[in-house]
Chain A
Amino acid sequence: MSEVLVDLLKILVFPGFIFLSLYSLFVEYADRKLYARFQNRVGPPWFQPFADFVKLLGKETIIPHEADVKMFRAIPLFSLAAVCTAFLYIPVWGVKSLFPFNGDAIVVLYLLTIPTLTFFLAGWHSSSLFACLGSVRTLTQLFAYEVPLFMAVLAPTLLAGNTGNWSVSGISAFYGSHPLLLLVNIPAFIVALVAIQGKLERVPFDIPEAETEIVAGAFTEYSGKLLAMFRMSIDIEMVVVASLLAAVFLPFYPAGGPVLGFVIYIVKTLAIVFLLSAVRATMARLRLEQMVAFCWRILTPIAIFQIVLNLILKEVIKI
């Protein structure tokens, strides 16, 4: 009985939902502040994301007449639930995640696809012109970045082999004990960093919500609590993706107990957020067809190269 309670606490409080929500707000602050400093602006105070969230909660929720009310209300919840679930399989302070099982790396990647699909459905069920255009773009973009992202994140598992068990914790454990092999995965790390800009819909891949073209894309008709939920799930998605990359590509866990491990986790995720903000600040938005071409012609070949390299290292050279 008490075991169930502890598990519930882990899921709901730490490192689950509540910690995740608060940390995601902090990461949003870090991102906005860094972005502002890159642009020579002052940037927001530390509580700004939280204030924005509370303010959105207090706003009127408007649902368009033509929208499908049930879907319109349910979709943000799906998005939030999917990203929170994905986090349960990613290690935070040690090598082990909360509930690891063989093959959870693939589950995490699929859970991370759900928010993108909910964005598409949200736009589609809004029955508004700009929302529909945004959702079509979301889906087109999904087919472009998803392939290199999957290949890049799963390439390290090939090298980890049976030790890895295709689970995030397994990969972390393997590379934790063979840190030099991480250097092999640097191309995959770069591909993953670029591809998640597409997943998170940030410059240069913020095509689905390009405000100067299609207003707010799929979220055009969303407001109030529902929009707050979406914003929250995007923030959490960022934390989850940063944690995933940290676990797969930067698994450094020096002995020193959970507290030190936790501090290192924060440093690693913030470092990845720093890289993401730097990319966002130094580029212009691409066009949809340029983005698709870039993902298929440049990112995918690099990811394939990484897979071939890892297979050769594993099967021929037998590291």
Chain B
Amino acid sequence: MSRVVVPIGPQHPALKEPASFTLYLEGERVAATNVALGYNHRGIEKACEERPYIQDIYLIERVCGICSHSHSTAFIQAVEEIAALEVPRRGAYIRSIIGELERIHSHLLWLGVAGHELGFDTLFMYSWRDREVVMDLLAMITGNRVNYGINTIGGVRRDISKEQSEQILKAVDILEERTKFYIKLATEETTLIGRLAGVGSLSREMAVKFGATGPTARAAGVKRDVRKDDPYAAYSEVSFNVITDDHADVLGRTIVRVMELMESVKIIRQLIKQLPDGPISVRAPRKIPAGEAISRYEAPRGEDLHYVRANGSEKPERVKVRAPTLANLTAITHMIDGGYLADVPIVIAAIDPCFSCTDRMISLREGDRGTETLMDWEGLRNYSLEWYKKNRGIDMNKIHALR
């Protein structure tokens, strides 16, 4: 039987962002997969190096539209480590509260997307409706629904008042009740389990080998969570469980995510209860002393890693962002191969991919020789001018405005 080549992407209804998955089908089964990223490169790391730290916070926050707090916290933690700043306890608590609210909103969003990929639009509508509860909370506390802008070097920018604490606790009760419904759904609904069980298998060994993180790894039984392994913010002062599951498939990833919602609820209650008094931030210097630091953060999609090198000026010398999707992406061909075409969308969705957060510069390798071509700005410009002249017959140099 001859192979049929199906392109999923760069534009496809199953994908929320451009990415290209070329599937080689044998019947309805996938024989091989080719993944190509690079449609969303935004040069965000370079842009960070050209701006002062305080502007970088807002830039870094826009790495991801969903786990924005994760990225800004990871970046700020690295800067604080270099500058040897001690974040006041109340500030650390507020950071953790926002972080957990963000996890709830991200997991509910994922649940909806997963439902949509399976043609279960009712689940999509339900979970996104419930997500509004937590979005409203975030808007109340920070003033924004998505990019909260609450972090600053040395602490947070807004305090949580007593009334706000009460409202958070009230909303969290609603969320807990709804989460129980989703747990019931994920463990009992027949068609849902039929579509999720045994799909996109990633064994414990392979998860470790591919370096998967977050719910993808935890669903394979890998007990890895930065909040527990390397506690930051206020996580060392609360008790919670690291949820793992041994299904090692998409069903496992779903169960881990819905169970984590319960843990987040638990953490938020403890944080609000123990919220210490005191200042929420310390004053940070404009110029950060020379040094370097790596910071880890447990984002909803997995471990987020930021590296910052400072050179004593008010701008960082190097910023490196390793989004959790990059760690999980390597395992995706392994999970897709041998499965059905019908399962490809949900397998891709199950790592909760965020391709825009992941895209970095790509260097060109020439075949097997291993020689790399790196282009600087001028080289890239000349290449594009040549390309248009050769392939489209347009000489861009002649267009006055581009000169």
Contacts and interface: CB of A to CB of B under 8 A. Distances in A.
Contact of A287 (B116, B129, B343): B343
A212 B345 contact: yes
A285 B126 contact: no
B341 interface: yes
Interface string A267-299: 000000000000001111111111000000000
Contact of A213 (B129, B189, B344): B344
Binding site secondary structure of chain B = helix
Contact of A212 (B7, B116, B129, B191): B116
Contact of B195 (A206, A214, A285): A285
Interface of B: 4, 6-7, 12-14, 28, 115-123, 125-126, 129, 189, 191-192, 194-195, 340-345
Top 5 A-B residue pairs of the complex, sorted by shortest distance between their CB atoms: A285-B119, A284-B120, A39-B125, A212-B14, A284-B118
A40 B116 CA distance: 16
Most buried by B among A39, A282, A284: A284
Contact of A284 (B12, B13, B119, B344): B119
Interface string A194-222: 00000000011011001111110000000
Nearest to A38: B122
30 contacts: A39-B121, A39-B125, A40-B126, A129-B6, A133-B4, A133-B6, A133-B341, A203-B119, A204-B191, A207-B342, A210-B119, A212-B13, A212-B116, A213-B14, A213-B342, A213-B344, A283-B120, A284-B118, A284-B123, A284-B192, A284-B195, A285-B120, A286-B194, A287-B194, A287-B195, A287-B343, A288-B28, A288-B340, A289-B340, A290-B195
Contacts of B14: 212-213
Contacts of A290: 194-195
Given A39-B121, A39-B126, A287 B13 contact: no
Contacts of A285: 118-120, 191, 195
Given A283-B191, A284-B189, A290-B194, 17 more contacts: A39-B121, A39-B125, A40-B125, A130-B6, A133-B4, A203-B119, A203-B120, A210-B342, A212-B14, A212-B118, A212-B119, A213-B345, A214-B341, A283-B120, A284-B115, A288-B342, A289-B28
Contacts of B7: 129
Nearest to A282: B122
A14 to B, nearest CB: 36
B362 to A, nearest CB: 27
Contacts of B116: 212
B48 to A, nearest CB: 35
Report the contact-size class of chain A (Cβ under 8 Å from the partner).
Answer: 20 to 34
Nearest to B29: A289
Given A207-B342, A212-B345, A286 B191 contact: yes
A41 interface: yes
B377 to A, nearest CB: 38
Contacts of A39: 121-122, 125-126
A204 B190 CA distance: 12
A215 B12 contact: yes
A146 B199 CA distance: 28
B129 A40 contact: yes
A203 to B, nearest CB: 5
Interface string A107-134: 0000000000000000000000110010
A207 B118 CA distance: 10
Interface in A1-50: 38-41
Contacts of A40: 125-126, 129
Contacts of B343: 287
A111 B115 CA distance: 35
Contacts of A210: 119, 342
Contacts of B340: 287-289
B58 to A, nearest CB: 34
Contact of B125 (A41, A129, A211, A283): A41
A194 to B, nearest CB: 12
A283 B119 CA distance: 8
A41 to B, nearest CB: 6
B170 to A, nearest CB: 21
A212 B192 CA distance: 16
Contacts of A41: 125
B119 A206 contact: yes
A211 B342 CA distance: 10
A204 B125 contact: no
Contacts of B119: 203-204, 206, 210, 212, 284-285
